[in-house]
Structure 1
Amino acid sequence: MADQYDCPGPVDANMTKVRMGGQVSHNISAAQIRAEADRRREQAGETGETEETAEAGEAEATEENEVAETVEVSVTVEASSSGRGARSRNAAAEKKAKALDKIKASKAFKKRKKGAEDDEYDDEIAQAIFEERSAPLPGQMENCEICGKRFTVTPYSVAGPDGGLLCAPCGREIAKEREGQPKKKARKQTGGVGSRRTIQSRMLDGDVGTKSLATLCVQTLAKNVELAESLGDLPEHLIDKIARIFSKRRLLKPDTLPLFTQPTTEVLHIYDGAKLGHQEFISIFQVASNLKKFKVRCAVQFKDEVMDYLLSRDILLESFYLHGANLLSEDKWHEFLAAKGKSLKELQVYFTDRHFGDETLGLLKEYCPDLTRLKVCHNQKVTDQDSSAEALRTCITQIGKDLRTLSFKIVPDADDSVLEAIHNTCRSLSKLRITESESMTDKGFAKLFTDWENPPLDFLDLQKCRQLDAAHPRENPDGIGLCSEGFKALMNHSGHTLKNLNVHACRHISREAFEEVFDGKKQYPELRKLEISFCEEVTDFILGCIFRACPNIKEVNVFGCMKVKEGMITEGTD
């Protein structure tokens, strides 16, 4: 019965009964059952062999087909590859031939061939130039021409004697051998990078045209400052020019300061004292005992210790200009004015933050009776409590008769009464500045310049004297600010002597007023700089009229004048 369970094929119902039920079968022989099982086993074996044979045959056929296809594809690919290789070689040869022809027509080829008379070397010269130009780029691998070692090409790889590249060790050896050979002269750059900036810098310094011998000497000194021992007896204007150049190039240091301080020095201008310490400032007053005019900008280290030493010396300053000394206390200012104020004629203080205020200004009347020039700017402690129209009018009435310069910056509350006080009092003004007034009117400006007994002005700045109304910016029914009539009146009074005129943002000056002032019949030969930016009525025609009426004009600013489209700029004008 054990053999029955090994039958791979199906069994009949009787066998199932024997297995499942375990009952004794009647009229069934065990030999018969065994024979049936053997027969079915043999049939199953024959069927499996047949299937395996069929599968093997199919596999052999498939393999033969694949081999045939592979052979066919391989032949086709090999044929295609050989065709592409031939075409690539032909294209490369044609490209090289074109490159060689192009090289033969270039200036480099003609320059190299200059020494050779025969044409038989043309191909060799062109080939050499071609190989030089097709040299490996930095980052690529190349074999050294001398030792054959493979190395990475860099921008500093040295060329070998035959045109190839050298590795670092071989390059150093070749460089040592070439040290004795004369070097090629550097080509002088006539333009390009930095030339425009250099030209603009020279123009800002006033260095236009051919340089004088004195200018060349000063610039040579600035380039070789470490070799200078003394400036000698140079005139004052040249020493000032040297000081400006030193400050511009950040050369004014503790080791170069002694060039400007001598026992006979009376005028000292330091335009950038940022690199000077308090001990250097003290040394100035130690050496220059005859100092009369002292000016220093960026004087960060001008502290109480420096002022104490100045107070201990018998130096009587006539002009004192201090910029950025925000470490100097207000008490020291009071001591300075009390001790040295009688000799002061000019006092200018800038950017001292909260250490120079109204209290210090109040002492000037008592301690500085001979003061002729006072300028205080950007000092936070100085308030505007006395900048009302009434205070300004009172100030002008008291001291305006002999004033040469009158400057009111950012006075929004100043009105026509201030202009009337200037008209009635001032008789010696040459420079007038009134900026950002929101109360002065065009009638007030016209009245100021009409029949004014003051001589014609040289400098006039009335920028941003205009109406401020965001809702109606172009409507000005009350004539606020400098408008057409005031502009015509000021040009009639001072136009022939004005050198600098600033009417920036006075947008209510009409086109007709500009055309009448610069009509060509009136000439303004002294005018050098004109600021008319954001004057909306300026056009190309008006700009041309300005050039014709101002033959010596150097700078005209029309920024924000949207009606200027293609204004022709005359030669020599910025």
Structure 2
Amino acid sequence: MSGRRGRSGAAVRGPTSALTSFLGNQPDPQDNTNANTEAGPSRIEEEPEPLDSDDLDARPSKRRRALSIDSDDLDAESPSAGVSTAVSSSVNTPASTSRATSVATGNGSFMNCGECGKKFTVTQYTKEHPHRPQTWLCVPCCPKLGVNAFAKKKAPAKAAPKKAAREKIVHYEVTKGPTPLADLCIQMIGKYIEEVDALGDIGSVNMGKVCKIICKSRRLTPETATLLYSVDRTELTMYDCTLLVHESYLAMANLCPNLVTLNLQYCGQMQTETLEAWGKSLRHLRHLELYGPFLVRKEGWISFFKAVGTRLESLSITQSPRIDLETIEVLVKSCPNLRTLHLAEIGKLDSEFLIPLAKLKHLHSLEISSPGGTALSDDALDTFLQAVGANLTSLNLDFNPELSDPLLVSISQHCPKLTKLSLRDIDLSDAAVQSFFDARLKHRRPGFTHIDLEKGHDLAGHSLRALIKQSDETIESLSLLGWRNVDADAVSLLAGCKKLGKVDLSWCRNVTDFTVKDIIDGCPAIKEIRVWGCNRLTDNVPRKRGLKVVGIETHAL
């Protein structure tokens, strides 16, 4: 017993019952046969670990758990019940057979080690024997068998919290089937564009698809761009020229001298000298579209316009701050045969530009949007459309904040052949738009194929009903974005537009699942419906193969 006294200062025990204390002080019956076996730990290394709060809160279980349990299960067992089981086992079992299968009991109880046979105190860290199932190890025996005696059981990984339903945006799209083999091959070519020379000639149509793929991934560089050049190429479109430099554009003109149509997007590094060189090299160019030629000064534009002269039929320029009134006057004088003219976000464009542009009598498609100078006025546009509107089939006057209802009267009177109209973010009244479509119906004007009246905040059911009545047989693309007051019944009338393929109903607050169903059922050509901000829609919105429904917000208000 002297050994027990010597350890009393180091050993820490949890709370025990009176029976446990009594049995713990009794001599072991095996002392006559094995002097090294005691009722408690035989070495200081085998002393019980301090009990935590989980051990103090443990409650007796109603039935014995399975034989193979982990440390978390041990915490649920009753200390007193475990002691009685362990003691009775030690009394009836000789030391030589103390390695027999035993049951791991509650923390603070005693049991025999499955390796050395000596008694030890069960704790939450007690480990099962790696080679003898259902037997347990004391602390000193764990290192011998390569077991970490104090390793805690890893807590199960917490599931990632679900995002709030308010943040959930659902897009519905049903595809037509597997991707064609030809498209898969083209995608592979785009991935390994640097080695496309090994394939030889893959055709201009497929090369155009390859160009779109590599531009989407921003891999169009001065090196890869040369793979798209060819002396027999007459049409070239590059969708992202961000990485091309001035020399790339010079090489393009030298290696593709027979270009008739050229479309370059994001061509911010193009310089004045580029256009001057093009005027000399591209002697067959008739159609030019440039997006973002910021660095080109007016000297470059003037030189180019004089060089291409009367053969230029189509010109589209977006975001060029250096174009001024003198540049426009040279354009009109040198290129009188223009049929398409698109000027968007031009730095100094204002109503004075309309005076020389009124001399372009052959215009079929016109865009003057987002002017950078003084806003265009209704009176100036009326005079201008009176001069050029007779042959116009497409008109875009987006983002001209000073325009209003009189503009519709001018369009109705001077543009009899118009079939495409875009008037985004222009302050128009519901009554004026209704009168506009009623007048076109009365005078038997052709129906519209494309109409964009985005952000017509004051437009509602009367405008839409008149629009459908006049263009129900022709309309293919329609944007009603921001028509917050239009009623669902009026929107459902779009079911009578059999050619409608794309419609934007974003922020039309009265649209419901039934409204979308009416459009889907009545429009066999429908391919895309945009419904951002239509918060009455649910996850149950109808869908069909080949249709994209974009922008469903599934949260409930």
Q: TM-score, normalization: structure 1?
A: 0.61
Checking the alignment, whether the CA contact within 8 Å between 1:330 and 1:360 is kept in structure 2 is yes
Structure 2, unpaired ranges of 5+: 14-23, 26-38, 42-46, 56-60, 71-127, 134-141, 149-169, 351-372, 550-557
Equivalence for 1:450: 441
1:41-100 CA distance string (max 9 Å, x none)? xxxxxxxxxxxxxxxxxxxxxxxxxx9x96795699685994885999xx9x9787247x
Checking the alignment, whether the CA contact within 8 Å between 1:501 and 1:530 is kept in structure 2 is yes
Equivalence for 2:188: 220
CA distance in 2, matches of 1:340, 1:401: 26
Give, in angstroms, the shift of residue 440 of structure 1.
Answer: 4.3
Checking the alignment, whether the CA contact within 8 Å between 2:405 and 2:427 is kept in structure 1 is no
Q: Which has the larger radius of gyration?
A: 1
Higher relative contact order (CA 8 A, sep 6+): 2
1:180-236 CA distance string (max 9 Å, x none)? xxxxxxxxxxxxxxxxxxxx9998xx9863222321221121122232217755444
In structure 2, do the counterparts of structure 1 residues 362 and 96 end up closer, same or farther at CA, with 3 Å as the change threshold? farther
1:288-338 CA distance string (max 9 Å, x none)? 111111111221221122223223335231011122221111111112112
Amino acid at match of 1:465: G
Matched, 1:282 2:235: no
Give, in angstroms, the shift of residue 266 of structure 1.
Answer: 1.0
Match of 1:387 among 368, 376, 395: 376
Question: Superposition pairs for residues 124-139 of structure 1, below 5 Å?
Answer: none
Equivalence for 1:529: 502
CA distance in 1, matches of 2:9, 2:431: 98
CA distance in 2, matches of 1:567, 1:446: 37
Amino acid at match of 1:514: V
- Answer 1 or 2: which has greater helix percent: 1
Matched, 1:497 2:474: yes
Equivalence for 1:436: 425
Bigger Cα displacement from structure 2, 559-568 vs 434-443: 559-568
Matched, 1:548 2:525: no
Match of 1:397 among 386, 395, 400: 386
Equivalence for 1:509: 486
Aligned residue for 2:496, secondary structure, equals coil
Equivalence for 2:96: none
Checking the alignment, whether the CA contact within 8 Å between 2:408 and 2:432 is kept in structure 1 is no
Aligned residue for 1:305, secondary structure, equals helix
Checking the alignment, whether the CA contact within 8 Å between 1:293 and 1:318 is kept in structure 2 is yes
Equivalence for 2:102: none
CA distance in 2, matches of 1:513, 1:395: 35
In structure 2, do the counterparts of structure 1 residues 70 and 219 end up closer, same or farther at CA, with 3 Å as the change threshold? same
CA distance in 2, matches of 1:452, 1:264: 48
Give, in angstroms, the shift of residue 369 of structure 1.
Answer: 0.8
1:422-458 CA distance string (max 9 Å, x none)? 2233333332111222244423433334325332222
Match of 2:268 among 278, 300, 304: 300
| Percent of residue pairs bearing the same amino acid type | 23
Equivalence for 1:367: 334
Aligned residue for 1:97, secondary structure, equals coil
1:495-528 CA distance string (max 9 Å, x none)? 233221101112232344335x25xxx5323222
In structure 2, do the counterparts of structure 1 residues 312 and 259 end up closer, same or farther at CA, with 3 Å as the change threshold? same
In structure 2, do the counterparts of structure 1 residues 507 and 374 end up closer, same or farther at CA, with 3 Å as the change threshold? same
Bigger Cα displacement from structure 2, 482-491 vs 357-366: 357-366
Checking the alignment, whether the CA contact within 8 Å between 2:455 and 2:480 is kept in structure 1 is yes
Across the aligned residues of Structure 1 and Structure 2, the Cα RMSD in angstroms comes to 4.2
CA distance in 2, matches of 1:270, 1:228: 17
In structure 2, do the counterparts of structure 1 residues 428 and 233 end up closer, same or farther at CA, with 3 Å as the change threshold? farther
In structure 2, do the counterparts of structure 1 residues 314 and 295 end up closer, same or farther at CA, with 3 Å as the change threshold? closer
Structure 1, unpaired ranges of 5+: 1-66, 100-125, 132-141, 151-199, 468-481
Amino acid at match of 1:455: P
Checking the alignment, whether the CA contact within 8 Å between 1:446 and 1:487 is kept in structure 2 is no
Aligned residue for 1:296, secondary structure, equals strand
How many residues in Structure 1 have an aligned counterpart in Structure 2?
Answer: 398
Matched, 1:291 2:259: yes
Equivalence for 2:34: none
Instruction: Spell out structure 1 runs of 4+ moving beyond 6 A.
Output: 69-72, 93-96, 126-131, 200-203
CA distance in 1, matches of 2:245, 2:270: 8
Checking the alignment, whether the CA contact within 8 Å between 2:253 and 2:282 is kept in structure 1 is no
Question: Superposition pairs for residues 416-435 of structure 1, below 5 Å?
Answer: 416-435=405-424
Give, in angstroms, the shift of residue 265 of structure 1.
Answer: 1.2
CA distance in 1, matches of 2:435, 2:403: 16
Matched, 1:462 2:453: yes
Bigger Cα displacement from structure 2, 558-567 vs 270-279: 558-567
